Every structure is written in structure tokens, then in C-alpha cells.
Amino acid sequence: MTRDSKIYIAGHRGLVGSAILRKLEAAGHRNLLYKTRSELDLCDQQAVRSFFERERPEYVFLAAAKVGGIHANHRYPAEFISHNLAMQSNVIDSAWRSGCQKLLFLGSSCIYPRMCPQPIREEYLLTGPLEPTNEWYAVAKIAGIKMCQAYRQQYGFDAISAMPTNLYGPNGNYHPENSHVIPALIRRFDQAKVEKVSEAVLWGSGTQRREFLHVDDLADALVFLMQNYSELEHINVGCGEDVTIQELASLIAETVSYQGKIINDTSKPDGTPRKLLDCSRLFALGRKPKIRLRDGMKQTYDHFLNG
């Protein structure tokens, strides 16, 4: 993948896609291709095929997806499975048909069984039941992995899959109900500070453990994998460390300077008890994250205030 290679970034406005775009631009890539949803509906098979036949990108980063937190997954299960299946199927198939040299598909750590051993190795996929609060999204992402593998086996298409852990950073979704935990808490605690509210609510018990990776570290790993990884099996992308959600909430409260009390709403679901990826395969290739959670949280909050 040279600086002149034609590279398509699907989902360039999202958290991951925008980070990939920043990374490629900073590296001097000059032939970048991207479209807004109004310009190209990835759920429209004919539109996607026509786009690929016309543009014929050499490399594709498939970062487009319908994403959200526990509430959104519970409320919109049909959209989470149907939209993601349609988008990824259309892009993967059209990329292969148009002669694309390589495609990188972005999955999620929620693909793994709810109660699998920790840290989670790639081979634990499909060894047990999924977490019910996000199974619709997880099933779609598993299908994407298997589609990449099938196209590699049958057609020799160089399609790879990367499974990132929980992500945060610039251009996150701060919707009050449908966002993931970090942007949700940043918004909630900042609002509580501004309104001088003495208490702020944290969904769940706070005892569940999660791993968090800054999206710029993810983008660095993805560009590296596009250039250096070509295997049938998907590969985990994380940082190798986790925290409890209660610890995370305290860190975010400190970051936004909210000094009120954090109240746990235990009527809300916790989700998977623990989710920590085993990233030894990626680390062995020489790629490790650089941004510490505390530093990344400050940067993310600054972007929230100025964005």
C-alpha cells in the first residue's frame, strides 16, 4: 500500500473511520476515497456495486457499521443485525468483484462468548453463548468474519478481519441513550457539573471489567495490519489492561471535574462480567498502544468541549 494507492474508507465520519482517515493523511496518502451516507447508501447493493465498478479502489477499510451501547442494542435489534449484515456483505462482495487487492473488515470484541476464559483468545470464537444484550450486533460481525474467510478460501481474496476492544476518542457518539459507556459518562458528568447536580447515575453495578483503547492507537494498528498481515484468522486489537466500570466512572468524573456523588442504578444490565482481549499475536508483530487511558480521556474530553 503506497502513498499513491487508491484507498476507500467506508464509514469515514465515524469514530474508527475518522481515525483511519487522520492516520492515512498524516502518513502522506494522497488518493483517499470516501462517501457520506447520503452520497452512498451501503445497504443498497446496486449502488455499492456501481460505486466499486466506477472507482475500483485498491484497498478498503470497512469501518462502516451501525453501533451503540446496551440500550441501543436492546431497542433496535432488527436494525443492528439487518443493517450491519447488508453493509458488510455489499462492500466485501463488491470489493472482490471489482478487483480490490485487499480489504480489512472491522469487527468487535462482543463477538466472543459471554463467559469465555479471560483474557480472550481468537480461538474462543463460537465456543459458547453470546452476551444477550448485544447478540444481534455480534451475530452480524461474526458473519462478516466468516464472509472474509469464505472469500479468501474460495476466491483467494485477501480479506482480513480485526477485532478491536472497547474504543473511545474524537468523534464519538454522545447520544444520551444510544452511546457507549465513555461518551455517555462524559456527557452525563459534564452536564451534572454545569447544572450543579449533587448526584449522577451510573448504569449497573460498576463491578464489570472492560478494556479501553484509544481510537488513534486502533488506527495505527489497522494501517499496520493492512500492510503486514494476511491470514485467514481474525486478530484481536486491544491494550491488554482492563478496569472496572466504577473505576472508569471515577476517572471520567475526575477528568471533567465533577465532584458530586456517583449513584449505581442496579436495575440496569451489566452486560458481560469481564471482557479483556488477549492481544499477544498483535504484540508479537511489534504493535502496542501508546496512549494511556488517563491521557486519552483528557484528550477526548477536550474534543467533546471544543467539538
CATH number, residue 100: 3.40.50.720
What is the arithmetic mean of pLDDT over 137-157?
Answer: 98
What are the grid coordinates assigned to 169, written together? 476518542
Residue 245 included in any domain:
no
Of 81, 68, 61, 47, residue with least CA distance to 16? 61
Q: Does the annotation flag 141 for ligand binding?
A: yes
Range of the domain at 112: 7-172+214-240+276-291
Residue 305 included in any domain:
no
Quote the percentage of the chain above a pLDDT of 90: 89
Q: 137 an active-site residue?
A: yes
- pLDDT tens for 200-242 read 999 899 999 999 999 999 999 999 999 999 999 999 999 999 9
Residue 35 included in any domain:
yes
- pLDDT tens for 10-57 read 999 999 999 999 999 999 999 999 999 999 999 999 999 999 999 999
Residue 176's pLDDT band, with cuts at 50, 70 and 90, is: low
- pLDDT tens for 180-210 read 889 999 999 999 999 999 999 998 999 999 9
Q: Does the annotation flag 205 for ligand binding?
A: no
Say if residue 71's pLDDT is above 90. Answer: no
- pLDDT tens for 163-173 read 999 999 998 88
Residue 247 included in any domain:
no
- pLDDT tens for 79-95 read 999 999 999 999 999 99
Residue keyed to cell 498524516? 26
What is the arithmetic mean of pLDDT over 106-126?
Answer: 95
Q: Does the annotation flag 278 for ligand binding?
A: no
Residue 222 included in any domain:
yes
How many folded domains does the chain comprise? Answer: 1
Residue 142 included in any domain:
yes
Q: Does the annotation flag 165 for ligand binding?
A: yes
Residue 182 included in any domain:
no
Of 225, 254, 239, residue with least CA distance to 59? 225
Residue 69's pLDDT band, with cuts at 50, 70 and 90, is: confident
| pLDDT score of 178 | 61
Q: Does the annotation flag 203 for ligand binding?
A: yes
Active-site choice (8, 137, 168, 258)? 137
The predicted model scores a pTM of 0.94
Q: What is the mean pLDDT of the chain?
A: 95
Number of CB atoms found within 10 A of residue 221's CB: 24
What are the grid coordinates assigned to 246, written together? 466504577
Q: Does the annotation flag 175 for ligand binding?
A: no
Residue 145 included in any domain:
yes
